[in-house]
Homo-oligomer: A and B are copies of this chain.
Amino acid sequence: MSRHLSDTVEDYLKVIYNLSVESNRVSTGQIAEVLKVSPASVTDMVQRLAGEQPPLLDYLKHQGVALTEEGRKAALETIRHHRLLELFLHEILGYSWDQVYAEADRLEHVISEEFEERVAAVLGDPQRGLHGKPIPSRSLEMPDQNTCYLQDLRPDQRGIIHSVNDDDPGFLRFLESKGLIPGVEFAVIDFSPYDDNLRLKIKDKEQEIVLGTSVTAQVQVELKG
Query: Which chain A residues have a beta carbon within 8 Å of chain B's beta carbons?
Result: 89, 92-95, 99, 102-103, 106-107, 109-112, 114-115, 118-119, 122
Contact = CB atoms under 8 A, between A and B. Distances in A.
A112 B100 CA distance: 11
A103 B106 CA distance: 14
A111 B105 CA distance: 11
Contact of A118 (B95, B114, B115): B95
Contact of A115 (B93, B109, B122): B93
A106 to B, nearest CB: 5
A141 B99 CA distance: 29
Contacts of A110: 106-107, 109-110
Contacts of A107: 107, 110-111
A123 B25 CA distance: 47
Contacts of A111: 103, 106-107
A224 to B, nearest CB: 37
Nearest to A122: B93
Contact of A112 (B92, B103, B109): B103
Nearest to A118: B93
Nearest to A117: B93
5 contacts: A93-B122, A102-B112, A103-B111, A107-B110, A110-B110
